[in-house]
Each structure stands twice: as C-alpha cells, then as structure tokens.
Structure 1
Amino acid sequence: MTPEPGLRERKKQHTRAAISDAALRLFLADGFDAVSVVDIATAAEVSKRTLFKYFPSKEDLVVHRFADHVDEAARVVRSRAPGQVPLAALRAAFRAGLDHHEPSTGLCDAPEVLACYRLVLNTPALTARLAQFLTSGEDALARTLGPPGELDARLAASAIIAVQRNLSEANWHALANGQTAAQRHPVAVGEAERAFELLDRGIGDWFQVA
C-alpha cells in the first residue's frame, strides 16, 4: 500500500499544480508566445526562481500534463502478466486507455484536456518539446525490452512509440475539430487494432523469441 505523502510533499504538489494551472489559464487567454514566465510567476504568487525549480522551461508548464506519463510503456511492459509478451501487454493497455478516455491516448474531451490538445497542436514550440519527452519514453522502453544498446530493442521501442504517438495525435485532431470522445471511440479502437496488428506482423516474432 502506497503511503500518503507528507505535509512537505503535499505543499510541493500544491505549488506545482498552482503554477501549472496559472500558466494554462494565461496561455489560453493570451496565447503561448504572448505570456512571459514573469507573468506566470506573478499569477501563481511565486518567484521566478521557484517556478523554474518546478518547471525547467516555459514549454514544460504545458507539456508536463502529457509527459508525466512518458514512461508508461516501459511500466506496462515491466508489470505485464506472467507469460504475456510485451506487445500484447502494450496493446491491451492502449485499448484500456481508449475505453477509459485517458488523456495519453488523445481520446479525452474533458474541457481542460481538450484545451491542452489544441494549445499543443497550435504551438510549434510545445510540439517540439513533447517530441523530446517522447524520445525519453522510447529510450526507457528500449531499456526494458532488451540489454542497453541492443539494436532490436531500440528498433522495437521506436516502432511502438511511433505507433502510439500517431494514434494519439489522430485522436487529438479529431477532438480538436469538434468530435466528442464517444463519437471518436469506435474509429480510435479500429485504428489502434489495425496499428498493433501491423506491429505484430513486423516485430511480433522478435517478442515471441525474447
């Protein structure tokens, strides 16, 4: 059983959330480029130094909402059921994420999440920063799939993360253009099943041997 965080940790979590929420409000109201770090620190009632302690860059103030799950694929593989191959575990986890409308799948139309999707899609700096986080997730998955530096593991991780990214982005675009998560769900499931089927055809044998 995970212990409850102490008072100091709860205060840190509260400060982090307050900074992030203030930043998102300002970005949505005025645009990402028009808002300065000083503006955000003032709105959150913290110093600029405190802000950077929690978020190393301006882009991280938005992207962390997605990047907090950047190692999810590696965690899914590590915690898979005995006898279950990694690709099957990842496929089941992504499908479950679609069914539960998890933000990481791009199929969440909660107003605050939808606002983040649109902000990232319309801001090149945020798109680029998110790509950097995804590369970190790819590295984590590769280390979980095989020994450090193993080519097959790196290629498999690259293919898997690319598929998940493309599926999520397709969902982001659909929701940003007005579809609801419920309307998009059948298509999203069909695309995910097709994508993982192609992955299985391409690298499934490697997983069976691994």
Structure 2
Amino acid sequence: MPETPTVGRRERKKAATRQAIADAALELFLEHGFERVSVRDIAEKADVSTTTLFAHFPSKEALVFDREEEVEAALTAAVRERPKGQGVVEALRAHALTSWVAIASDPRLDRFTALVDRTPALREYGERMWMRHADALSAVLAEELGREADDLACSALARFVLEVPILAKGRHDPRATVETVFDLLIHGWQSQHDAKNAGTGS
C-alpha cells in the first residue's frame, strides 16, 4: 500500500517534465523555425539533459506532436468505451465535439499549422502519424463491429473521421462544422441532398 503514492508522484513528475520539454520546444520552433533549433537548445530551455529529453521523445519531430499517443488512445477509447446502445459514429461525433472543437478554436492553431506546413520533415511526420491513427481507428472499428481486420468500410470511415479536424480548422463555427460532417456520415450524401431540396421546393 505505501508504494501507490510514490508511483503517483513519480508519474506526475515525469508528465510535468515531458510537458515542460514539449512547451519549450514549441516556443523555440515557433520563434526561430524548426531547422534552426537544436535538441541541445530545447534541453537547455527546459532545464533538462539531452538524455532526459530523448527518454521522453524519440525524435526532434516527436517534440512537435507531443500528444500523439494520447490522441490515438482517446480516439480508440471513444469507440471501445462508448455507452451501451450508442453507435460507433455517434461515439466518434461526441469525441470530436468534446476534444477537437476546442483545438480548432485555439488561437495558436494557425501558427502551429504554418510551422508544420513550411517544414518538410514535420509534414512527413504528420502524414505518417495520421495514417497510424487511421489504421488504429480502423482496427478498433472492425473489432467492435465484428468485421474483418481489413474491412474497407471501417478503413474508409476511419479516414473520413480523421479529416474532421482539418475541415473544422478556420471555420467560423467549428462545432457546426463537426455536426454537419457527422450528419453526412450518418445519413449519407443523397439523403442530405434530398432533404435540402425538399426544404427549398426544388
């Protein structure tokens, strides 16, 4: 029993150190550019050794996408741990509304996006990360729905869902954007189109 508080403190300290490193890295990258900042610069700003830095982050690119594992875990948990009776798409809609709308509305997002867009190494890393998330989500969807691991519908749904943050970025009302995209996923293009035409009398 006495071990539990010690482990808790240790984990909190590790998390705080990791966050401090990530914050220092992003601040330096935004100010000077990704290529002009060294790992040593980041370690000095975060007041840690380079050994400690690499214990938390396997690469310089990973410092920019510091929440990669957390994002993927939350995404798959949204499907696995959804309330009884809730469909997988509705579960993903709820996750998007609680997690992604806030990100799309973050005033720092434009600077972060610009940093990634102008840095080939970050664009490549981001694309690989996106595909890993898509594969992980597709796998959990197939598992939950009793489909084959390579089910095309699950793969397509996973990729569509992961486009939602991109579509919401820069929109006047990110929440309405998320709702519209998920309505389209649930009801389909044709029914949405028909409903709109019926409302206009065309």
Indicate the TM-score class for this superposition, using the shorter chain for normalisation. 0.7 to 0.9
Gaps of 5+ in 1: 175-180, 202-210
Alignment of 1:114-133 (within 5 A): 114-133=110-129
Give the Cα–Cα distance (whole angstroms) in 1 for the partners of residues 118 and 69 of structure 2.
18
* Aligned counterparts, 1:1-210, within 5 A: 6-65=8-67, 67-97=69-99, 101-103=101-103, 107-111=104-108, 113-147=109-143, 150-152=149-151, 155-172=152-169, 174=170, 183-185=172-174, 188-189=177-178, 191-193=180-182, 195-197=184-186
Mapped to 2, the partners of 1:150 and 1:55 lie a distance apart of 30
* Alpha-carbon spacing, 1:53–1:122, altered in 2? closer, same or farther (3 Å): same
- Displacement of 1:134: 2.5
Provide the TM-score with structure 2 as the length reference.
0.75
44-53 or 89-98: which moved more? Answer: 89-98
The question of whether the paired residues in 2 share the 8 Å contact of 1:160 and 1:199 is answered with no
Deviations 1:150-185 (A, max 9, x none): 221xx334323322332212333x2xxxxxx6x233
1:165 alignment partner AA: L
% same residue: 36
Q: Which has the higher contact order (CA 8 A, sep 6+)?
A: 1
8 Å CA contact 1:120–1:127 kept in 2: the answer is yes
CA RMSD of aligned residues (A): 2.9
Which has the greater radius of gyration? 2
How far did residue 49 of structure 1 move?
1.4
Deviates more, 1:186-195 or 1:87-96: 186-195
Cα distance between partner residues in 1 of 2:159 and 2:111: 23
Provide the aligned length of Structure 1 versus Structure 2.
183
User: Is contact 2:93–2:179 with CA below 8 Å preserved after alignment?
Assistant: no
Question: 1:47 offset after TM fit, Å?
Answer: 1.5
Counterpart residue number, 2:194: none
Please list the CA deviations of residues 167-208 of structure 1 after superposition, one character each: whole Å capped at 9, or x if unmatched: 212333x2xxxxxx6x2336523642354246698xxxxxxx
